[in-house]
Structure 1
Amino acid sequence: MTRILKAAIAGVLASSFASAQSSTNKSVVRLDPALDALVSPDAKVELVKGGFGFTEGPVWVQEGREGYLLFTDMPGNVIWKLTPDGKASVYLSNVGYNGPEVWRWGGIQNNGRERTDPQFEEFAMIGADGLTLDRQGRLVVATFAGRSLMRVEKNGQRTVLADRYEGKRFGGPNDVVVKSDGAIYFTDTYGAFRLREKDPRKELDFNAVFMWKDGKLTLLVKDMPATNGLAFSPDEKYLYVNGSRDNYVNRYDVRADGALANGKLFIDMRKETERGVTDGLRVDTKGNLYETAPGGVWIISPQGKHLGTIRAPEVSTNVGFGDADKKTLYIAARTGIYKIRVNTPGI
């Protein structure tokens, strides 16, 4: 067990669990009356568990009447399991970069504090990033610094589905989503490298959206500077993809063969000045987007209107709907996992 992993586990197990009765009392910023149908005016963001390094990729796993949340801690190179009673345990370890000279790998991030703060900390993002479930309920992992798309079989075996395009290694799969026909869509960027796209170890000269289906890898998009989160509309007519460098979301038509066409700017946040970037996103059953963005989690109508913002205490990185009714929005926000109840189920 690596020193980084030991430190990550120790930090989480030492942190206290905040019960559902303990709220951070952070507000939901209402920009349009339509928001009230999606999030109650008195809804509050609550801390579920803290003490992590940099959380990402929350996905809910339902098992009978019970369920649990899986998410990644990227500096610790761990996928965590979080049960409804707030107990965290290591689900998988070493899912990202596992080679020598760890210090040379993974983009540098921080814990979200100001550099003048005595508790400011920087670390290497050597772990996995986005998570989802396939149609058989198997965990699919964008391994980021591991530079692969991986599936975890029911017996725990790890299967690398893809790690290169036309013989060239991925830069760092970032996020992943599964279509109803079983096709896996994922973004690939420069995540594994300290120098990003200037790093000589980066083999592909573009960042991309790929589709993996029945063992075949197809390049769909290669003209976005920094592909990141992605999600389908409820009817799967559209795929939303954000660009984390420039803070915007594109919308693509999904053709019958799964290819993407007619990419258009859906919402532009490039003039926003608050902390945070367009990172993870999810969609509810009515087609509204829940997009991590500058200032928090933006709730965006299917027409592209910003209805309001959920403000977590830390910079939000990704979101996922959970609990049996899919009406709890779990928010990965740097060192913690937060939640808020919503009125419309997610998909």
Structure 2
Amino acid sequence: MTFFESYDPAFDRFILGNAPVKRLASGFDWVEGPVWFGDADCLLFSDIPNNRILRWHAETGISTYRSPSNFANGHTRDRQGRLISCEHGLRRVTRTELNGSLTVIADSYQGKPLNSPNDVVVKSDGSIWFSDPHYGIMSDYEGFRATQELPCNVYRVDPATGQITAVLTDFNCPNGLAFSPDETRLYVADTGRMYQGDPTHIRMFEVGAAGGLSGGAVFHSINPGVADGFRLDRQGNIWSSAKDGVHCITPEGQLIGKILVPERVSNLCFGGRAKTVMFITATTSLYSIHLNCQGVQTP
């Protein structure tokens, strides 16, 4: 079975010849938001339509972490190791404290409810950045149908004051987002408004010393499919979801290779003992593969 397509010798160094793409679990409806917990040696991910967050452990397999999950989608961890989650159902971003309680980080902007927070990252200064497309309120499949009251923006939450600022306001529907390893770049996917046929691509912004953003040109367009979610390795390569698997894109925007997956990929993250295992959420299943590179994963 072929697990890879290589378009440049630079991609070949990431591949371990005896490391296959493995299906770890299946039978879900639409899985998303994988995040690795190294201290617990487990992966958390969302099964959005079934309103639950699941846990995968190498020895015990799949178990339920939280149900109901308020139709949680994307997740990350902050610098204290706490889970940060985007919830479609209650249209908010939350933090799971170390004692298990929930703290609401953001649920409105300028007095109006958010749409359906989708993906989230935490910068080293503690600021929380999240995308807010309308996918979770356009039907009752991944949340609850509701009237959209805000544009589809990217927001930043100040770590000291909790103030929410719309930092990117010119997207059709922002989706996946991630910082470069040195945090001088912010990559944001635009996956387009539902049913509208908008252009889809990844845009790249320069991050200033004070956190301001500039630029925003199209960095790369995924084909086939869209850049729903993505993560970076320590060399700055972007590993993005696509219809046919995971695409590896250089910091210059060049596609150099693919990991082929038999289902449409939604998102991915790095984990494992050395952060060299890529965990892939793809439609109904969870996959993994060992690579010869390390992901940027915090903490």
Same fold (TM over 0.5): yes
Offset at residue 26 of structure 1 (A)? 4.5
2:238 to 272, 279, 289: 289
Matched with 1:170 is: 114
Matched with 2:195 is: none
Matched with 1:212 is: 157
Offset at residue 278 of structure 1 (A)? 1.5
Give the conservation status (yes or no) of the 8 Å contact 2:207–2:213.
yes
Offset at residue 227 of structure 1 (A)? 0.5
Return the letter of the residue paired with 2:27. G
Give the conservation status (yes or no) of the 8 Å contact 2:92–2:107.
yes
Q: Which secondary structure does the structure 2 equivalent of 1:137 belong to? A: coil
Residue 28 (structure 2) pairs with residue 81 (structure 1): no
2:227 to 266, 274, 278: 278
Matched with 1:44 is: 20
Matched with 2:103 is: 159
2:87 to 143, 151, 162: 143
Give the conservation status (yes or no) of the 8 Å contact 1:48–1:86.
no
1:73-129 deviation digits (Å, cap 9, x = unpaired): 001111111112251111112222xxxxxxxxxxxxxxxxxxxxxxxxxxxxxx111
Report the identity percentage: 39
* CA distance in structure 1 between the partners assigned to 2:172 and 2:75 by the alignment: 22
Matched with 2:282 is: 333
Residue 47 (structure 2) pairs with residue 70 (structure 1): no
Q: Could you say which structure has the larger radius of gyration?
A: 1
Aligned residues between the structures: 284
Q: Which secondary structure does the structure 1 equivalent of 2:73 belong to? A: coil
Residue 136 (structure 2) pairs with residue 189 (structure 1): no
Matched with 1:225 is: 172
* CA distance in structure 2 between the partners assigned to 1:89 and 1:138 by the alignment: 19
Q: Which secondary structure does the structure 1 equivalent of 2:265 belong to? A: coil
Return the letter of the residue paired with 1:233. S
Residue 221 (structure 2) pairs with residue 268 (structure 1): yes
1:221-268 deviation digits (Å, cap 9, x = unpaired): 011111000011000000000111233100001122222211111112
Return the letter of the residue paired with 2:189. N
* CA distance in structure 1 between the partners assigned to 2:179 and 2:205 by the alignment: 10
Which ranges in structure 1 are unaligned for 5 or more consecutive residues? 1-24, 97-126
Matched with 1:251 is: 204
RMSD: 1.6
**Structure showing the higher helix proportion among its residues:** 1
Matched with 1:104 is: none
1:197-225 deviation digits (Å, cap 9, x = unpaired): xx761110x21111112211111101111
Offset at residue 41 of structure 1 (A)? 4.7
When residues 182 and 208 of structure 1 are mapped into structure 2, their CA distance, relative to the original with a 3 A threshold, is: same
When residues 56 and 281 of structure 1 are mapped into structure 2, their CA distance, relative to the original with a 3 A threshold, is: same
Matched with 2:252 is: 303
Q: Which secondary structure does the structure 1 equivalent of 2:38 belong to? A: strand
Matched with 1:342 is: 291
Give the conservation status (yes or no) of the 8 Å contact 1:50–1:337.
yes
